[in-house]
Each structure stands twice: as C-alpha cells, then as structure tokens.
Amino acid sequence: MYHFGASAPCPSKGDHGAAARTIHVGIVVINGANAIDFMGPIDAFNEANRSLATPVRYKVDLIGATSGPIVGSSGVRMLPDKVIVPGLDTSYDTLLVAGSHELRTLRDNLPLIDWLTRAAPTARRICATCTGTFVLASAGLLDRRRVATHRDYTEPFATMFPRVIVEPDRLFVRDGPYYTAVGGMAGIDLCLYLIENDCGQATFLDVARRLVIFLRRPGNQPQVSGFLKAQSIRNTQVGHVLDWAMSNLAADLSVDALAKRAAMSSRNFSRAFMDEMMTTPARFVESIRVEAARILLETTPLSIQQISHRVGFGSPANMRRAFIRAFQTPPAEYRENIGPTLAANVP
C-alpha cells in the first residue's frame, strides 16, 4: 500500500531567488479510478516542484471520497492525505476529480457532491478527468458549459445531463474556471497545460522531459488518431491500401486511386471503407494528412509550404482550410503558439 504525502523534494525559491508562491491542489479520488487518472497529475505537479525554473510550489492533497484506502481499478491501494468528511477544508486553488468506472458511486456520493458545491466558489480552477465530469455535473456545476469526457461515456453523460454541452472527440476542454479531460494521458496533457500557465514554458519543458513526454497535445486534438484507427481494420484489402496511403501521403489518394489499388470499384471500396472506418475515404485522408502536418509543425523547422507538399495538400491554402476544420486555428498560428518548444526539439 502506498501513501502520497507532501514531503517530495521541491525548490523553495523560483529562478530569481524569490520565495516560491504555493498553489494548493486537491485531487479527489473515488474507488474504481484508473491509477493514471490520479497518479499522472500527482507526478506532473511533483515534477514541476523539482524544476529549478519554477516560480511556484504545488502542495498536493490526495483526497479520498470515502474513509479507508483508495482502491484503484487495477487493485492498487493508496492512503489518502484527507477524506471527505464534514468540516473538511474547502480552500483549494485547484480541484481535480478523477473519474471512476463505478458510475453509481460517482453520482450517489452526496457528501462529495455537497463538499464540491461548497469548495467550487472559492477555487480558481475546477477540473475533472474521464467520468469525474459526472460528479461535477451532478453538483450542478457544469450547466450550460462545454465539457469533454471519455468517448465510452459520451452518450450516457449527454442523456443524464442535457443542460451540459458535450464536446465530442476532444482531449480536454476549458470553459471558464472548469477544465475537463477524457482521462488517462489526456489528464496529464491537461496538467501540463495548467503547469505551463502557472509556471511558464521553462517549467513545462522540464516536466515534459522528466516524464518523457515529447510535447503537450492541444485539447482539441481527437481522442483517437486516424493512424491508430487504421491499425484496427479487419478488411485486408482496405487495410493494405491504408497502410500504403499512410506511408505515401503526397501521392494521389483520391477514392478512385485507392479503389484501383485495392482492385475494387470505387463504389464498393467506398462502401467497405465506410463499414470499417465510419467515415468516407476523403475525410479520412484529410484527417491523416492534418495529423501528419501537425506533427511536422511541432517537430521540424520546415516551412508551411514545404509541409503542405510533403503531406499531400499540394498548397498552403488547402492545408490551411483543412487545419482550421480540424483544430479551429490556422497552421501558422498553431506553430506560433508552440514556437519556443520547436527549437528545443529540432536536432
């Protein structure tokens, strides 16, 4: 059994020698949570404390929703620092509710919902990962707000909470002081976003390097990449064609060209493709080209014109239109937002 405490080593001063500002974080965990949904954020904040560049210090409390050890979905057990009981301190700068597979426990924990209702007005940020959104919504905190939740729970969430706006296929979403992520690694992406806002890019890069995370993914990135979807294809004719397409993005990837390579008619290929991928060949090709372009924007000094030709868009204008459809921002602005990280990652 493990116990997380506040004794992890961390600097007491920022990079200019001034006393570090303390940010008090409460991570609320319900039995049945995936360990990464609470341990990932704990590790991210702890690594921020270790950074010599950080101007702040995170004090993290692991808060149990019930008495006794927290039991994760894998059976891992941890002793909480605090437990939700009457009179528990509510003065947290940042609250994060980790999701759990036990949805009934999430919805019916009235002491937890009551505590969150009292704590939310004084918190600067209220966050949830995976089904933690069910707790915030049950407390009435998400009405008329946009949220992200794990794709497996999108439909039941939308049915239970019709006043909340679910953003489908997004890693994390911010709406005012509320931050929601789909869980797993996306919870770490969210915490990196918070750390970058609190501490600056130098600390963010330190944390990413220590956790061996290449770059923080933007919140509007799809939950499952096109490249990953293509690996689950059962139709071998379609699968072989997509394997080739993903290695030849600059080639002619029109429906007719792909169908010819599959030795199928365009109509039959489109039907088989839709059955496998639940989207049209044209939309899928655009999605993998956009994804490849995003990676090149983040990791290389190639110009936008060079990238547009390399991934098959043919021109910066075509790439811009597709990029805006996918990420609601043009490529140049996207690269500008991550600009200083580029030099750090280009050989």
270-314 pLDDT, tens digit per residue, is: 998 888 777 888 988 998 898 888 878 877 889 999 999 999 999
For residues 345 and 214, the answer to whether their CB atoms sit within 8 Å is yes
Average pLDDT, the chain: 81
Phi/psi at 47 (nearest 5 deg)? -65, -30
DSSP-assigned letters across all residues of 3-26:
E--S-S---SB-TTSSBPEEEEEE
Does the domain at residues 2-210 carry the CATH identifier 3.40.50.880? Answer: yes
In sequence order, which residues have a C-beta less than 8 Å from that of residue 205 and are 6 or more positions away? Answer: 341, 344
H helices then E strands: how many in the chain?
Answer: 16, 12
pLDDT band at 223 (very low <50, low <70, confident <90, very high): very low
Q: Are strands 70-71 and 77-79 parallel, antiparallel or unpaired?
A: antiparallel
The better pLDDT of the pair 335, 236 is held by: 335
Q: Is the confidence at residue 263, as pLDDT, over 80?
A: yes
Does the domain at residues 226-345 carry the CATH identifier 3.40.50.150? Answer: no
pLDDT band at 338 (very low <50, low <70, confident <90, very high): low
Q: Is the confidence at residue 269, as pLDDT, over 60?
A: yes
Q: Where are the alpha helices (DSSP H) in 278-330?
A: 281-299, 304-310, 316-327
Instruction: For the full predicted model, state whether its pTM sits above 0.75.
Output: no
Within the chain, all domains assigned CATH 3.40.50.880 are found at 2-210
In the prediction, which pLDDT does 207 show? 84
Q: Are strands 178-181 and 172-175 parallel, antiparallel or unpaired?
A: antiparallel
Within the chain, all domains assigned CATH 1.10.10.60 are found at 226-345
Mean pLDDT for 251-255 is 94
Q: Is the confidence at residue 234, as pLDDT, over 60?
A: no
